[in-house]
Structure 1
Amino acid sequence: MDAAARRNYVPAERARSFYTFVGAVIAAAVLVAAMPVARLTETLPDLPAAFWVMAALAVLCDYRPFTPPGRRQSSAVFPSICFTFAILLAWGLGPAVLVQAAAVVVSSWRMRHAVWRAVFNIAQYTLALGAAEAVTYALGETAFGEGSGPTWIDVAAVTLAAVAWFVVKYGTVTIAVRLHSGGNWWTTFRQGVAFESVSIGALLLLAPILVGPASHSVALIPLMLVPLFAVYRMSRLSSEQEQLARLDPLTGLANRKALLAEVHEQATLHCARAAAGAADRHFALLLLDIDRFKHVNDALGHAVGDQLLVEVSGRLVEAVDRHDVVARLGGDEFAILTPRLTDAAGARALADRIVTALSEPVALDGLPLDVAGSIGIALFPEHGDDFATLMRHADVAMYDAKHRNDTVVVYKPESDHNTPERLSLLGDLRRALDPDLATMAAGEITMYYQPQIEIQTGEVVGVEALLRWRHPTRGMVDPEELIKVAEQSAVMRLLTRRVVDDVVEQLAKWQAAGVTLRAAVNVSIRDLHTLEIVDQIRERLARFGVSPDQLQLEITEGALMADPRRVLATISELAKLGVAIALDDFGTGYSSMQHLRRLPLTEVKVDRSFVLGMATDADDHAIVRTVIDLAGALGLRVVAEGVEDERTWRLLRSVGCHVAQGWFYARPMPADELVEWLGRYRPLTPNN
């Protein structure tokens, strides 16, 4: 069988299975109801007024059943169930099937169902009523039909009959939906089981309560409308609460829970379509982060920030198609699920529409605010087949966009450092950093310190704090690998918090021992996106009595260029605090003169890749000299890292470099070894 034949064969086979099942249910219902319905010609005229009142109410109540939004129509609340189950208990299967059929005809006409569907629904109800009748017959329950006082056994029998009714009815619906639409059996079953078991169970168990009063007075039957209305309201309120639980209270968009359910449903549908040979087996998840939102909150207040989020959500809804789902995940993060795609170009086109929609300034409180964001895209099934994987990969793409100073990036595996091995390492790192989880099994996080030497005087003017992690099974983890593992997740902030805490505490210990040094700490782009790091450093310095000028933060050019405005806001607050700011790896990125002029920098560090080669490579020597001249013109101190021999040290002195660090002086070492090294150190100057 060729591919084209297979594409036609699978859906056709499923359709045959569906209609075969429908036919089997109808045939079984005919067999079950044939004899009881045939006897109606004899028994119908003798039925009491109570029956006719119940029948009329069953039909009238089903004229407008309640269908909860977002559910399949089989989840509608049909009040006729209560009356027909009561009729079954009091007068048998035939009258119950007749009334239920009449109610189905009315509701199907009202809901515009096809004829075959109405017949199928009647058949389902018939089988359910037949199952309930069989249970009551097998258990010898006759009290409700005879009007005598029911015993506990009778009540138990009726309860079991109601369970049998529900199992048959819900089971036939589930099988039919699965055969018709495909997908996972368990997903299809659980889609409405909680809601229907409560609403239908309440209707069924009201029926025996209705039979008792009906045997005494017909006038009591309409009073059943009150508890039926209560069931109706309960169902509506339950559905509304569930809907509210899936909405973001500020914007009215879907929330994370709703997005998760939608992604799961779309994955199931697309897998079914792929199995059927359909071509549209892609959908995309777009993750959007609003740039500089923190600045709006800080400068104009949270009320204006909320207005901005509402305005952004409105623009997103207008930019997408009606089939797309827009969700707010919290803070300034939004997600868009677009279910109808053929390739990544469609997702990019949608992202471009979103960028265009956000490009127009938003007027809030008379101020025009520029809105921009970074968008990461993950495709199903190429980049993941579940919510967690797609979200993680869209997040990787979004941060890749920030690092590249781009607007839209589609996920690429080569940009994702989170291989299974690294994810395992990330979990170990999280446990090592969490004081509640830290154990010997997580390894040991420690700080090493490398001296920084004033070239002209040989004086030790500071140290660079370097993170080290001794893993229990892998040994010492490479620092670059450690940062790659952490920087694309929230663990990076935990890591920075730990480093700042340890370094400030160590500065206080050295100070108490009579050693005053400045320590430089590296921070990532994630640390600079909020002012949280400013508050943390302010609190730690105050707690340990350390002067702000003893701490220096090093940021890379990549972090600076990923989001210059947000980074500028954070480091400006740090500079006001008195903490020095250094630009690390200078010369390897794309810093503009405008940013260098505006940043409150005190120091630049020449990247080791240039320093290592300056003694043998004229180009590297020229680059280092140019960087030093530029920094001098801007009034910045220059630190050269990677100084490993005397020749390089002398060349750096000759071109005017201020500070050097590297193995020529000392390797990184633990804090206690540094104190011992300081005791042995003899300054090296150009004259000796």
Structure 2
Amino acid sequence: MNLPNQSELPSPVIERHRLYVLQASCLLDTPPDATLDRVTELATRLFKAPIALISLIDEKRQWFKARVGVEVAQTERKDAFGAYTILRRDVLVVPDASLDPRFKQNGWVIGEPNIRFYAGSPLRTRSGVSLGSLCVIDTKPRYDFDESQQDLLTQLAEMAMDRIEALRSIAFVDPPTRLLNRARFSDDVRAIFDERRNGQISPSHAVLINVVPLGYLDETSVSVGIVAADRLMAAISVRVERALVDIRPVYRVDYARFAVFVRGGESAAMRVIEAALRAFDAPLVVNQIPVDLSPTVGLVDLSGIDEHTDVLRALMSSSEVARRARVPFRKFAKRMFVAQERTFFILNTLPQALHDEHQLSLVYQPRIDLRTGRCVGVEALLRWSHPLLGDVSPAEFIPLAERTSLMPALTDWVMDNALKQLAAWQKAGISLNMSINVSVLNLEQRGFVIRYASLLQTHGIEPARVELEVTESALAQNARSVTENLRKVTSMGSTIAIDDFGTGYSNLSKLQLYSASVLKIDQSLVRRVLETQHTRILVEGIITLAHKLDYRVVAEGVETPEIYETVADWQCDEAQGYHIAKPLTAAMFESWHSDYMQYII
């Protein structure tokens, strides 16, 4: 092994910094670059040499970013002439490597490609860090590589380095804002953790400012155009930079998410957070339209994070928790990772559950006609018995599914199995209507009505026997495709019910847009109907006004005889809730239905 002597070894500190800069350049193991390829080709012609290389010297290897005359893409560092070149400021010239004590036992000298002559110029960054070399190689000794040729090789190396610096800029700079990007943030986090392990002073905290969620930017692009949306993004970036003028650098790590590192402890970090939030007290003006923005901020104490790869995840988790809680900021806590991991696990295993007959199931909650007392229908409710997590509440996994492409498949599973059960009950002489919950995401699909009609036909179910439930809050932000699909469903003969009514933002007259004919009063109101005068007036008023507009009204959450009697006295049409029956399996419902109908008769 041919190692440099002690006078030619770099100091550990300098070498560690050099390797960091090299890794941060994001050049290693990247595809060929046409410009650098041309530089090596030009070098072989100018110097009439069979081999030219642009090599980068990593910790244990030499990797060729561009090469002419050799097939391999890398060598061990011990065989790299460039490991000596990076220690110099001038050109390293080796007239005959077989006579040079540093190289005469080198694998590339005693074996292929049988190097004799070598001339290499270091590739140095603007800050003076040497990443590798540009070299020309010959298989014959050469003693005529004079000063003018060395100057020419140096100029070619400078050309190559200009291109490398440009590639580094492309890799690390966000073009629209000219801020450092996510890749640079990740590399700088790694450097900070290295500094901390080596006992050096490093930033104490990281702060992420999430100005607006991605969905908002998408809506902006649709409503005012992509150009205006770009202007908004640029204005946001300027506002953030000005607010954090004393903190550099600022990174754009995602759409409208900006991050900084802070020295000086949590009090210093809080001052940064306050400045960032104050920056958006005044609206931005885009196309003469004032735009109010309410950023949320995530705060991470870097000393509480074990791995540098977890920092950005922790920042995004804490800012997202703040957004959902509708508070300005949240400090990261490790329990946030636990919740994220559970979310990921649920979404990752839900597709398997759709094909496992032992995991997903339906239960059915009876609905009673309050005038006759008869059971006129059931609501199909989805349940998930997870093999590892146990029972997972639909209140947990359905909102997660709605944020992915899993929701259409999940709704298809529910409709298919609910209609299959309804057909079995019809065949057994049990006459019922089936209520099925659907997501607005399903109703936005162009093929939803075709799929629904196909399932009705497959199971031999009359459309009038089925009611589709959609939540009021979801409809409040609907698309035109939703109202069109609802209209098609009602034209087939099925009923549309507005679920959880009374907690959203719709009004009764607007519900006509949705072709709805049934209102289901939210259980949170019904359960409290006897507790306060305000709730009594509200629920009774909804029933009275809905009847005047020809809606059928269902009270959910009827859990006591007193509530049952009260909503019946107010002429509510139907009721469901624990006082009548909890959600039941198909077999349990059949038994309940048999006993109940005998009691009614």
Once the two structures are TM-superposed, the CA of residue 294 in structure 1 deviates from its matched residue by 3.2
CA distance in 2, matches of 1:232, 1:628: 82
Q: Which residue of 2 aligns with 1:582?
A: 498
Once the two structures are TM-superposed, the CA of residue 323 in structure 1 deviates from its matched residue by 0.2
Change (3 A) 1:311 1:670: farther
Q: Which residue of 2 aligns with 1:453?
A: 368
- C-alpha contact 1:347 1:377 (8 A) present in aligned 2: no
Secondary structure at 1:431 match in 2: helix
Once the two structures are TM-superposed, the CA of residue 327 in structure 1 deviates from its matched residue by 0.8
Q: Identify the match of residue 276 of structure 2 among 344, 351, 365.
A: 351
Structure with the bigger percentage of helix: 1
CA distance in 2, matches of 1:392, 1:151: 49
Once the two structures are TM-superposed, the CA of residue 653 in structure 1 deviates from its matched residue by 0.8
Report 1:55-454 matches (<5 A).
Answer: 125=88, 136-137=100-101, 140=104, 153=111, 156=114, 196=131, 199-200=132-133, 202-203=134-135, 206=136, 212=142, 214-215=143-144, 222=148, 229-269=155-195, 271=196, 275=199, 281-290=204-213, 292-321=216-245, 323-330=248-255, 333-340=256-263, 342-343=265-266, 344-356=269-281, 359-363=283-287, 368-381=289-302, 384=305, 386=307, 389-406=310-327, 408-411=328-331, 413=333, 418=336, 420=338, 422-423=339-340, 425-434=342-351, 444-454=359-369
Secondary structure at 1:663 match in 2: coil
Once the two structures are TM-superposed, the CA of residue 284 in structure 1 deviates from its matched residue by 1.7
Change (3 A) 1:576 1:389: farther
Q: Which residue of 2 aligns with 1:521?
A: 437
Secondary structure at 2:329 match in 1: strand
Give ranges in structure 2 of 5+ residues lacking alignment.
10-20, 27-35, 48-83, 457-462, 488-495
- Alignment-mate amino acid for residue 381 of structure 1: L
- Alignment-mate amino acid for residue 468 of structure 1: R
Secondary structure at 2:555 match in 1: strand
Change (3 A) 1:122 1:433: closer
Report 1:631-650 matches (<5 A).
Answer: 632-633=544-545, 638-650=553-565
Q: Deviations over 1:343-400 (max 9, x none)?
A: 242242133134236x13211xxx5152424413122227645565444444444444
Change (3 A) 1:347 1:595: farther
Q: Which residue of 2 aligns with 1:627?
A: 539
- C-alpha contact 1:380 1:390 (8 A) present in aligned 2: no
Q: Deviations over 1:504-536 (max 9, x none)?
A: 43466468776884535376xxxx8xxx55433
- Alignment-mate amino acid for residue 426 of structure 1: T
Structure with the bigger percentage of strand: 2
Q: Identify the match of residue 493 of structure 1 among 401, 404, 428.
A: 404
- C-alpha contact 2:354 2:410 (8 A) present in aligned 1: no
CA distance in 1, matches of 2:119, 2:537: 88
Change (3 A) 1:340 1:240: same
- C-alpha contact 2:367 2:378 (8 A) present in aligned 1: yes
Q: Deviations over 1:156-194 (max 9, x none)?
A: 5769x999x99xx99xxxxxx9xxxxxxxxxxxxxx8xx
Q: Deviations over 1:221-279 (max 9, x none)?
A: 7456666555443333334234323344544444433332233334444x369x45x69
Q: Which residue of 2 aligns with 1:29?
A: 7
Secondary structure at 2:477 match in 1: helix
Once the two structures are TM-superposed, the CA of residue 578 in structure 1 deviates from its matched residue by 1.6
CA distance in 2, matches of 1:225, 1:511: 88
Report 1:475-554 matches (<5 A).
Answer: 475-479=390-394, 482-483=396-397, 492-494=403-405, 496-506=407-417, 509=420, 517=433, 519-521=435-437, 534-536=443-445, 538-545=446-453, 550-554=467-471
CA distance in 1, matches of 2:567, 2:369: 11
- C-alpha contact 1:323 1:339 (8 A) present in aligned 2: no
Secondary structure at 1:349 match in 2: helix
State the superposition RMSD in angstroms.
5.5
CA distance in 1, matches of 2:331, 2:140: 61
- C-alpha contact 1:518 1:550 (8 A) present in aligned 2: yes
Taking structure 1 as the reference length, what is the TM-score of the superposition?
0.57
Give ranges in structure 1 of 5+ residues lacking alignment.
1-26, 32-66, 87-120, 143-149, 171-176, 178-191, 561-566
Q: Which residue of 1 aligns with 2:73?
A: none
- C-alpha contact 2:174 2:180 (8 A) present in aligned 1: yes
Once the two structures are TM-superposed, the CA of residue 124 in structure 1 deviates from its matched residue by 5.2
- Alignment-mate amino acid for residue 531 of structure 2: D
Change (3 A) 1:500 1:30: closer
Q: Deviations over 1:95-143 (max 9, x none)?
A: xxxxxxxxxxxxxxxxxxxxxxxxxx999549x989999993276589x
Change (3 A) 1:125 1:434: same
Once the two structures are TM-superposed, the CA of residue 649 in structure 1 deviates from its matched residue by 1.9
Q: Which residue of 1 aligns with 2:56?
A: none
- C-alpha contact 1:449 1:466 (8 A) present in aligned 2: yes
Secondary structure at 1:284 match in 2: strand
Change (3 A) 1:340 1:334: same
Change (3 A) 1:668 1:309: same
Change (3 A) 1:654 1:493: farther
- C-alpha contact 2:560 2:579 (8 A) present in aligned 1: yes
- Alignment-mate amino acid for residue 577 of structure 1: N
Change (3 A) 1:571 1:652: farther
Secondary structure at 1:493 match in 2: coil
- C-alpha contact 2:203 2:261 (8 A) present in aligned 1: no
Secondary structure at 2:597 match in 1: coil
Secondary structure at 2:447 match in 1: helix
- Alignment-mate amino acid for residue 250 of structure 2: V
1:569 pairs with 2:490: no
- C-alpha contact 2:467 2:497 (8 A) present in aligned 1: no
Identity of aligned residues (%): 17
- C-alpha contact 1:316 1:326 (8 A) present in aligned 2: no
- Alignment-mate amino acid for residue 434 of structure 1: P
Secondary structure at 2:531 match in 1: helix
1:657 pairs with 2:572: yes
